[in-house]
Amino acid sequence: MRKIIHCDCDCFYAAVEMRDNPVLNDVPIAIGGSVEQRGVVATCNYPAREFGIHSAMPMAQALKRCPHLIVIRGDMAKYKAVARQVFAIYRDVTELIEPLSLDEAFLDVTNVTLCNGSATRMAEAIRQRVKSEIGITVSAGVAPNKFLAKIASDWRKPDGLFVITPNDIDSFVQQLPVKKIHGVGPRTAEKLAGLGIQTCADLRARSLTELVEQFGRFGHRLFELSHGRDERPVKTHRERKSISTEQTYSQDLPTLEACRQQLPDLLSDLEQRYARLDPAPAVRGLMVKVKFNDFTQTTVEHADPAPSLDQFESLLTIGWLRGERPVRLLGVGYRLAEEVTVQQLSLF
């Protein structure tokens, strides 16, 4: 039985700004791009969330909901420096750390002897050190696996700690809404609701065969998680599966031809990002993302190890024809090949 801690810094970018300028503590703030550049909210503090503001919301919409919202452009260099401080505290507890982002990570403390081996006490010690030494708060979840630990860290946000013991798993999971399961987005949730499935207890009432018939491979995942089972280990090395770049335009691109004219600059930026990978994995596919002026979006992909402008133009055409309306954002990217370990076999 593993002991997993999931640590998640509360409204990270906003928390750093409030730490550095306490005047911001009790007023709604959002970190993100400006309205003029059609920016979106990267994160916001809890006073802003009371107005229904959330990450990925267009900044213009956020300001309509809260006209006195303070918009801060953000400083990624500063946030990365703070993240390094936070992760240094994690490493004082264990080297088995799987970063999910700058502000979020899984820690495997199964064999750690600190705090008499108590994962709960380790999590609380981490939270106290981050608060006292760095000046921001961390919510933590403790559980026997990654699935439950991640859910637990969100259970008492902000600045909370929630523990799911092995004996608690069954009762906790049964009442868990299916929308809390990672991978269950709005469409899957709608399909589940159409089948009368609202909680993991409802999922348990369905057979594995039925769930696979309805949801394919994800049906097997739903079956396992509805019983609180998750055997994924904490991975200290996360393999990059893709690389991409995107651009939001201050004025909508009105036609397909106007979109095509943006491709060379996007592909130049993509190539520069790809060249910085060391080592650079092989390219196994191409992708183009198109977001229209009504905020609907589509992604088109094609498997090909030899990217070219013509191929990206073809994918862009397919994507644009799905909406045939002005475009506010374009993105391009590569799908990357997985690392393969080659071993010389013996002759006999």
pLDDT one-digit tens code per residue, 29-49: 999 988 777 788 999 999 999
Q: Using CB atoms within 10 A of its CB, is residue 175 exposed (0-12), middle (13-18) or buried (19+)?
A: exposed
Note the pLDDT of residue 222.
93
Q: Is 302 left (phi over 0), alpha (psi -120 to 50) or beta?
A: beta
Indicate the pTM of the whole model. 0.79
Architecture of the domain defined by 242-336: 2-Layer Sandwich (3.30)
Beta bridge mates, 7 = 105, 140
Query: Looking up tokens 């196994």, which residue turns up?
Result: 284
Q: Which fold has domain 170-226?
A: DNA polymerase; domain 1 (1.10.150)
> Which tokens hold the place of 126?
């981490």
Catalytic residues: 104
- What is the C-alpha separation between 5 and 121, in angstroms, rounded? 11
Cα 38 to Cα 54: distance, rounded to the nearest angstrom:
16
Taking a C-beta distance cutoff of 8 angstroms, is the pair 5, 119 a contact? yes
Residue 105 near residue 4 (C-beta atoms within 8 A):
no
Mean pLDDT in order along the chain per 10 residues (348 residues):
95 96 95 82 95 92 95 93 96 95 95 95 97 97 96 94 95 93 88 93 93 91 93 85 90 94 93 84 91 92 85 93 94 82 49
**Where do the domains of the chain lie?**
1-164, 170-226, 242-336
Token reading at 347 = 């002759």
CATH architecture label of 1-164: 2-Layer Sandwich (3.30)
308's CB contacts (< 8 A; 6+ apart) are none
Between the CA of residue 290 and those of 60, 61, 246, 321, 331, what are the distances in Å?
20, 20, 9, 10, 7
Please enumerate, by residue number, every residue annotated as part of a binding site.
8, 103
Residue 204: closest CA among 192, 188, 187: 192
| pLDDT digits 0-9 by tens, 89-108 | 999 999 999 999 999 999 99
Is the alpha carbon torsion for 98, 100, 102, 105 positive or negative? Answer: negative
- The predicted structure's pLDDT at residue 134: 97
Annotated binding site for Mg(2+): 8, 103
Q: Are strands 29-32 and 70-72 parallel, antiparallel or unpaired?
A: parallel
Q: pLDDT exceeding 90 applies to what percent of the chain?
A: 76
